[in-house]
């Protein structure tokens, strides 16, 4: 089965161009439209399990959440103690942050500078074992900023040093580790000028920012407006970071960065990139989206799958697959670990090499 999130190659319609433009808008603005769709899916899932309370699931519905299309409540992060962070979308389609401590009550964690119109608001993305929550918020000017919320409720707002302060640009927080160190990405330029993505790592006290930029990442945009650069997605307690970068030819690759700053590319055998023949835009590639304490990395990659339709010529589009890259250990083959692949869509794997 093909993954319909990717546009089939060879199609030459205005819809393709519109989707390409929308994709870039979503990337630069916290992927808010996609997030809204995921919120709905998560809310539906929560509602369905809530109907079977005997299974041990608990439904979370925040007062103030809308009940229309692309509205509702979703959990976005949970720590080992069961503390929960999440988002709800109100009737204005604005995003709001909430926390639910294990055994406690729901509390709002909106940032005071967040906007209140459609596509604006506060979105928590990550929580560590101490219950510290981090995420991003969109202000009334459509600029994205980072925030971190201490367990006592104190919220600190911040921007990556090189982040643009123009609409549909800014800072996106993606991970916080148990030491309170935060990583994420930022965008430069403006909506009408050349932009790129850069990665950052913020110290727990906010006094130090470290650039996280894969040396093989591009630094501009392709002719179709696809931004190049580095996006750190996940970080473990020791400071290892996993994510992806887009190179100067606009091909996406996974990477893992050691705590000492060494970058290693992750591209499973068979990974493919789909090219839209109408404008040359590229889709697919590798995304490293998770890393555990041992340095094992999980994520997804796409392969090129040919198919034919009765009404058109044969086309090629990516099939999304899961992968895991095991950290090199005593009994693991050399070259930084082995990549294992699974045909299950959207699933992730974390395994050990066995001899």
- What is the helix (H) or strand (E) element at residue 200, kind and residue range? strand 197-202
For the residues of 118-139, what is the DSSP string, one character each? TT-EEEEEEE-TT--EEEEEE-
pLDDT, residue 304, reads 63
**Closest residue by Cα to residue 115 from 148, 90, 85, 151:** 90
Backbone φ, ψ for residue 227 (5° rounding) = -80, 140
pLDDT, residue 205, reads 98
pLDDT, residue 279, reads 77
* DSSP three-state, residue 25: helix
pLDDT, residue 319, reads 61
pTM: 0.78
pLDDT, residue 29, reads 38
pLDDT, residue 240, reads 97
pLDDT, residue 323, reads 65
* DSSP three-state, residue 35: helix
CB neighbour list of residue 113: distance below 8 Å, 6 or more residues apart? 137, 139, 145, 157
What are the structure tokens assigned to 307, written together? 């198919």
Whether the CB-CB separation of 323 and 301 falls below 8 Å is answered with: yes
Torsion of CA 341, 330, 289, 215, to 10 degrees: -110
Per-residue pLDDT of the chain (355 residues; tens, 9 = 90+): 222 222 233 333 333 333 433 343 333 333 333 343 333 333 333 333 333 344 678 899 999 999 999 899 999 999 999 999 999 999 999 999 999 999 999 999 999 999 999 999 999 999 999 999 999 999 999 999 999 999 999 999 999 999 999 999 999 999 999 999 999 999 999 988 999 999 999 999 999 999 999 999 999 999 888 999 999 999 999 999 999 999 999 999 999 999 999 999 999 888 877 777 677 778 788 999 999 999 999 988 887 654 444 444 444 445 666 666 655 433 233 344 555 543 322 222 332 222 2
CB neighbour list of residue 187: distance below 8 Å, 6 or more residues apart? 27, 28, 163, 164, 169, 170, 172, 195, 196, 197, 198, 227
What are the structure tokens assigned to 232, written together? 């750190």
């Amino acid at each position: 089965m093909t993954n319909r999130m990717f546009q089939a190659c060879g199609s030459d319609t205005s819809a393709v161009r519109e989707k390409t433009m929308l994709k870039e808008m979503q990337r630069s603005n916290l992927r808010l439209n996609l997030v809204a769709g995921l919120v709905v899916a998560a809310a539906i899932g929560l509602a369905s399990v809530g109907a079977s309370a005997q299974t041990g699931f608990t439904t979370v519905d925040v007062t103030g959440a809308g009940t229309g299309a692309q509205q509702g409540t979703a959990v976005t992060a949970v720590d080992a103690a069961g503390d929960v962070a999440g988002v709800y979308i109100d009737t204005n389609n604005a995003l709001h942050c909430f926390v639910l401590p294990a055994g406690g009550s729901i509390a709002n964690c909106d940032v005071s500078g967040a906007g209140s119109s459609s596509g604006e608001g506060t979105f928590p993305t990550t929580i560590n074992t101490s219950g510290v929550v981090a995420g991003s918020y969109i202000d009334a000017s459509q600029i994205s900023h980072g925030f971190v919320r201490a367990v006592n409720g104190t919220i600190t707002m911040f921007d990556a040093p090189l982040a643009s302060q123009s609409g549909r640009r800014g800072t996106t927080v993606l991970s916080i580790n148990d030491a309170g160190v935060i990583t994420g990405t930022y965008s430069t330029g403006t909506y009408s000028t050349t932009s790129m993505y850069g990665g950052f790592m913020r110290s727990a006290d906010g006094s130090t920012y470290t650039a996280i930029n894969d040396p093989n990442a591009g630094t501009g945009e392709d002719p179709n407006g696809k931004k190049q650069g580095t996006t750190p997605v996940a970080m473990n307690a020791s400071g290892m970071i996993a994510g992806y970068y887009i190179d100067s030819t606009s091909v996406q690759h996974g990477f893992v960065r050691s705590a000492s700053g060494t970058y290693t590319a992750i591209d499973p055998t068979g990974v493919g990139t789909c090219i839209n023949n109408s404008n040359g835009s590229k889709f697919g590639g590798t995304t490293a989206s998770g890393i555990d304490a041992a340095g094992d990395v999980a994520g997804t990659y796409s392969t090129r799958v040919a198919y034919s339709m009765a009404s058109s010529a044969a086309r090629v589009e990516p099939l999304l697959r899961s992968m895991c890259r095991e950290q090199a250990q005593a009994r693991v083959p050399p070259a930084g670990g082995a990549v294992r692949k699974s045909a299950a869509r959207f699933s992730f794997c974390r395994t050990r090499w066995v001899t």
